């Protein structure tokens, strides 16, 4: 049985069914294809539309999954959606009251329409949100018997759900209301520190710099612990309580003070206290020794590390896609388990997405960039890449099928030497261009993991960067670029049988340097999600200061533009548009703006008339009423390059045949 799991909203880039959908209502759209309970393909919509955390309906991802598996959407047996039907219908009816133009369409009908009416409405199934998260982590854990803890912003009504899972399926044994949401707790404190949704990981990183005792008393006023593992808390009163305690919210752009770090430390400690209290009581009550985690809060690798060190469990499995994209996976597996028994099998890899392509496909792509890149085909790409890294290079690494989930795990990674501390600032300057309160993560050969890291006695799935563990004291000076201020690291343990090419690279780096560890961070710049396709990887190489790109068997470097090269022409992205805005003076201004950017606010950039004309005239762009004046691409190139770097437009090489002959 083929089941397509989906997460996302009912909006598309072109059509906002729900206008003004609140930020964070739905996010992390994805499609996951499951055959007889086994995941065969999983893709996040953001990787294709190139809009981070996008909530738009995952049609591109669904089509990618179907194509990858060699079927049409109409050939899929069932769809499983990541929220309950009544909940969705109620919410849409609520939205419709505030938006009289919005058609009243039930979730089932809307999904049917969005999938091009290729699947009969009765083949669409709905899975309760926390059941979907729970199924993702239980069926991927390999545990036969386990407690399953789901914590996120909220599902339909609950924000925490605890299940007891075994051969007979999953039984809900505790559920905690939305008002006690630990996801909301962390998010509201994140806002107090001047950050926004999806910045929670920055606050977690900041916490290690602070002293929790400064604000422990303040945070203590927010909650109480019950003897049975329960807790009282109400996030709706939290902001007011913090303000009444004299805490001033930090404004964006204000410096980070030691008080802010102390606040973050108390926040992190509070989360750990409440979760340990709750889960400890349930473990005692049920006698369960295995724990599975999922939901957005399970992305807190410091919390996960604390749980692993607590000794409460023999084994802990944190799902590598604990965010809502993972609920698409879980919805499909949950439905599969209703159709036929599914066995829990330990997941070894998240390499479930878009393939990078054959050597021939990559080479023909690279050839279109002649004059902008040069490349060589290597017999041993892992060895070549390792030598470059050992010589101080920071490289892009794109191999095999892309990872599903928020972490790059050696398929779409930026790699560097983990030893020099300055590599932290260097990589931030080269590509990330943002404040980072956590250093980059280490990927270590499994054979040497215990030598460098103090792994807990509790068995953990250490392959997915979901736990912060202690770097052994003696190795902290060696691993300066990947050790956090508190001596921990978000480690990835690499087994040869799971990812041979990446293992070979680290092995070769160890031969060069004596250290079986590389620095691994996601392959993207600050304006985009992780690269997915070969074209994305080349674009990222050309728009950042990366030293090289290892893609398939090819080692690729930038060259200064040569006149023999293909000329670059600008094209608008599906998510951006241009417009002419009148000014009060009677003049006009030209702008490029984002059409569908749900989260970071829609970016608008003023551009010169010539750049506007270049975009208007670009191939494939529908004609506008503005007649483009003569366009001199060279004149506007610096401006176009800036827009390219910020991913508001694309620059693509003209095909050789389209290039006017010399001197014409």
Mind telling me the catalytic residues?
A: 27
Residue (186 or 523) nearer to Fe ion, CB = 186
Question: Please, what is the minimum distance in Å from the beta carbon of residue 166 to Fe ion?
Answer: 23
The interface region with Fe ion, picked from 62-70, 99-107, 320-328, 556-564 by CB under 5 A, is 320-328
Q: Return the biggest CA–CA distance within the chain.
A: 84
What is the distance, to the nearest Å, from the Cα of residue 422 to the centroid of all Cα atoms in its chain? 26
- CB of residue 387 to Fe ion, shortest distance in Å: 43
For tokens 């944190």, the residue is: 318
Span from 149-157, 266-274, 511-519, 612-620 in contact with Fe ion (CB under 5 A): 149-157
Residue 391 burial (CB count, 10 A): 10
Q: How far is the CB of 324 from Fe ion (least distance, A)?
A: 5
- Closest contact distance (angstroms) between CB of 152 and Fe ion is 4
Asked whether 107 and 88 are in contact (CB, 8 A), the reply is yes
- Interface with Fe ion, residue 28, by CB under 5 A: no
Q: Which is nearer to Fe ion, 78 or 152 (CB)?
A: 152
In the complex, minimum distance from the CB of residue 289 to Fe ion, in angstroms, rounded to a whole number: 26
For 630, phi then psi, to 5°, come to -55, 130
Number of residues written out for the chain: 664
Instruction: Tell me how far apart the alpha carbons of residues 592 and 602 are, in angstroms, rounded to a whole number.
Output: 11
Binding Fe ion (rule: CB under 5 A), the pick from 288, 324, 463, 498 is 324
The minimum distance between CB 134 and Fe ion, in angstroms, equals 11
SS (H, E, C) 493-518: EECCCCCHHHHHHHHHHHHHHCCCEE
Q: Minimum CB separation from Fe ion for residue 295, in Å?
A: 5
Minimum CB separation of residue 296 from Fe ion in Å reads 6
DSSP designation for 658:
G
Task: Answer for the pair 141, 292: CB distance below 8 angstroms, yes or no.
Answer: yes
Question: What string of DSSP letters covers 424-476?
Answer: HHHHIIIII-S--SS-PEEEEEGGGHHHHEE--SSEE-TTSS--EEEEPGGGT
d(CA 598, CA 587): 31
Of 550, 615, 605, which Cα lies nearest the Cα of 383? Answer: 550
Q: For Fe ion, give the closer residue by CB, 405 or 410.
A: 405
Q: Which residue is nearest to Fe ion (CB)?
A: 152
Phi first, then psi, for residue 471 (nearest 5°) are -80, 135
Nearer to Fe ion, 152 or 403 (CB): 152
**Where in 64-130 does DSSP place strands (E)?**
78-81, 124-126
**Binding footprint of Fe ion, residue count (CB under 5 A):** 2
Closer to Fe ion by CB, 152 or 547: give it.
Answer: 152
Using the rule CB under 5 A, give the single segment among 134-142, 233-241, 317-325, 530-538 that binds Fe ion: 317-325
Beta carbons of 110 and 117 less than 8 angstroms apart: no
Give the range of 152-160, 396-404, 562-570, 578-586 binding Fe ion by CB under 5 A.
152-160
Closest CA to 573 of 552, 554, 594: 594
Residue placing its CB nearer to Fe ion in the complex, 92 or 327: 327
With binding defined as CB under 5 A, does residue 152 bind Fe ion?
A: yes
Question: Smallest gap, in angstroms, from Cβ of residue 38 to Fe ion?
Answer: 23
Q: What is the dihedral sign for C-alpha 336, 325, 29, 279?
A: positive
Question: Smaller CB distance to Fe ion: residue 27 or 407?
Answer: 27
**By C-beta, is 200 or 324 nearer to Fe ion?**
324
**Residue 115 and residue 160 in contact, taking contact as beta carbons nearer than 8 Å:** no
Q: Does residue 640 contact residue 92 with C-beta atoms inside 8 Å?
A: no
Instruction: Tell me which residue of 349, 553, 567 sits closest to 464, measured CA to CA.
Output: 349
Interface region with Fe ion, contact rule CB under 5 A, candidates 281-289, 321-329, 378-386, 470-478? 321-329
Q: For residues 178 and 259, which CB has a smaller minimum distance to Fe ion in the complex?
A: 178
Structural contact between residues 100 and 283, judged by C-beta atoms closer than 8 angstroms:
no
In whole angstroms, what is the distance from residue 329 CA to residue 5 CA?
A: 6
Footprint on this chain of Fe ion (rule: CB under 5 A):
152, 324
């Amino acid at each position: 049985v083929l089941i397509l799991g989906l997460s996302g909203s009912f909006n598309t880039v072109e059509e906002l069914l729900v206008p003004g959908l609140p930020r964070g209502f739905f996010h992390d759209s994805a499609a996951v294809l499951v055959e007889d309970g086994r995941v065969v393909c999983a893709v996040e919509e953001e990787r294709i539309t190139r809009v981070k955390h996008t909530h738009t309906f995952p049609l591109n991802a669904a089509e990618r999954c179907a194509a990858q598996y060699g079927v049409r959407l109409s050939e899929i047996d069932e769809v499983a959606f990541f929220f309950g039907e009544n909940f969705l219908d109620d919410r849409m009816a609520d939205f419709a009251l505030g938006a009289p133009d919005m058609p009243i369409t039930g979730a089932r009908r809307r999904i049917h329409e969005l999938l091009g009416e290729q699947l009969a409405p009765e083949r669409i199934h709905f899975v309760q949100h926390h059941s979907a998260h729970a199924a993702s982590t239980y069926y991927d854990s390999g545990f036969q018997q386990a407690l399953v803890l789901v914590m996120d912003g909220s599902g339909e009504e609950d924000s925490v759900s605890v299940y007891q899972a075994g051969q007979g399926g999953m039984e809900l044994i505790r559920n905690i209301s939305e008002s006690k949401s630990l996801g909301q707790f962390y998010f509201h404190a994140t806002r107090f520190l001047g950050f926004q949704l999806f910045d929670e990981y920055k606050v977690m990183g900041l916490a290690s710099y602070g002293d929790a005792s400064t604000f422990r008393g303040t945070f203590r006023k927010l909650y109480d612990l019950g003897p049975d593992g329960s807790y009282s808390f109400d996030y709706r009163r939290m902001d007011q309580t913090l303000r009444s305690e004299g805490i001033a919210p930090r404004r964006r752009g204000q410096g980070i003070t030691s008080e802010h770090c102390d606040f973050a430390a108390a926040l992190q400690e509070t989360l750990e206290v409440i979760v340990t209290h709750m889960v400890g009581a349930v473990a005692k009550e049920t006698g369960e020794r295995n724990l599975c985690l999922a939901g957005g809060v399970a992305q807190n690798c410091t919390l996960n590390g604390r749980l692993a060190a607590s000794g409460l469990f023999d084994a802990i499995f944190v799902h590598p896609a604990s965010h809502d994209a993972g609920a698409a996976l879980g919805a499909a597996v949950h439905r599969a388990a209703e159709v036929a028994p599914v066995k829990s099998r330990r997941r070894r890899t998240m390499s479930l997405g878009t393939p990078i392509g054959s050597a021939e496909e990559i080479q023909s792509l690279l050839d279109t960039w002649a004059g902008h890149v040069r490349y060589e085909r290597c017999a041993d790409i892992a060895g070549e890449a390792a030598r470059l890294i050992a010589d101080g290079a920071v490289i892009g690494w794109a191999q095999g099928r892309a990872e599903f989930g928020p972490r790059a795990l050696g398929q779409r990674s930026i790699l560097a030497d983990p030893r020099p501390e300055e590599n932290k600032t260097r990589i931030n300057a080269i590509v990330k261009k943002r404040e980072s309160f956590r250093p980059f993560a280490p990927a270590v050969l499994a054979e040497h993991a215990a030598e460098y890291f103090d792994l807990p006695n509790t068995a953990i799935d250490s392959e997915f960067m979901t736990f912060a563990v202690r770097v052994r004291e003696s190795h902290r000076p060696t691993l300066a670029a990947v050790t956090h201020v508190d001596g921990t690291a978000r480690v990835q343990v690499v087994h040869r049988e799971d990812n041979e090419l990446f293992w070979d690279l680290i092995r070769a780096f160890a031969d060069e340097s004596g250290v079986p560890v590389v620095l691994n961070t996601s392959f993207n710049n600050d304006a985009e999600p992780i690269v997915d396709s070969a074209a994305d990887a080349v674009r990222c190489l050309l728009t950042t200061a990366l030293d090289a790109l290892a893609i398939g068997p090819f080692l690729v470097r930038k060259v200064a533009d040569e006149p023999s090269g293909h000329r670059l022409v600008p094209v608008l992205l599906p998510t951006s548009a241009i417009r002419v805005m009148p000014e009060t003076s009677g003049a006009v201004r030209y702008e490029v703006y984002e059409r569908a950017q749900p989260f970071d606010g829609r970016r608008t950039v003023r551009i010169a008339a010539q750049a506007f004309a270049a975009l208007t005239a670009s191939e494939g762009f529908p004609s506008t009423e503005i007649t483009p004046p003569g366009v001199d691409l060279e004149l506007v190139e610096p401006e176009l390059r800036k827009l390219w770097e910020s991913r508001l437009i694309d620059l693509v090489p003209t095909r050789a045949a389209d290039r006017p002959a010399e001197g014409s």
